[in-house]
Structure 1
Amino acid sequence: MTRQWMKVIELIEVPADDVVAVQAGDRELAIYGVDGEVFATDNICTHGHARLCDGFVEGHEIECPLHQGRFDIRSGKAMCEPLAADIRTYPVKIEDGSVYVDI
Structure 2
Amino acid sequence: MADWITACKLADIEAEGVIRFDHGGRTYAIYRSPSDEVFCTDGLCTHEAIHLADGLVMDYEIECPKHSGAFDYRTGEALRMPPCVNLKTYRAETDGTDVRVCL
Into which bin does the TM-score normalised by the smaller protein fall? over 0.9
SS in structure 1 at match of 2:80: coil
Whether the 8 Å contact between 1:6 and 1:24 is mirrored in structure 2 is no
Matching residue of 2:92: 92
Unaligned runs of 5+ in 1: none
- Distance, in Å, in 2 between the alignment partners of 1:47 and 1:67 is 9
**Cα deviations across residues 46-93 of structure 1 (Å, max 9, x unaligned)?**
001211011100110000011110000000000021111000111012
* AA partner of residue 52 (structure 1): L
State the TM-score, normalized to the length of structure 2: 0.92
Give the corresponding residue for 1:59: 59
Q: CA RMSD in A?
A: 1.1
Match of 2:45 in 1: 45
Whichever residue aligns with residue 74 of structure 1, its letter is R
1:75 & 1:52 partners in 2: Cα distance? Answer: 15
Is 1:54–1:64's contact at 8 Å kept on the other side of the alignment?
A: yes
Per the alignment, in what secondary structure is the counterpart of residue 20 of structure 1? strand
Q: Hey, what does 2:27 align to over in structure 1?
A: 28
Q: Distance in 1 between matches of 2:48 and 2:71?
A: 13
Q: Secondary structure at the match of 2:84?
A: coil
**Structure 2 residues without counterparts, runs of 5 or longer:** none
Secondary structure of the 2:53 match is helix
- 1:81 is aligned to 81
8 Å Cα contact 1:47-1:85 kept in structure 2: yes
Q: Deviations over 1:10-42 (max 9, x none)?
A: 111121111111122222111111121111111
Counterpart residue number, 2:5: 6
Q: Distance in 1 between matches of 2:22 and 2:49?
A: 17
Overall identity of the aligned pairs, in %: 37
Would you say the 8 A contact 2:76–2:86 is kept in 1?
yes
Number of residue-to-residue matches in the alignment? 102
Q: TM-score, normalised by structure 1?
A: 0.92
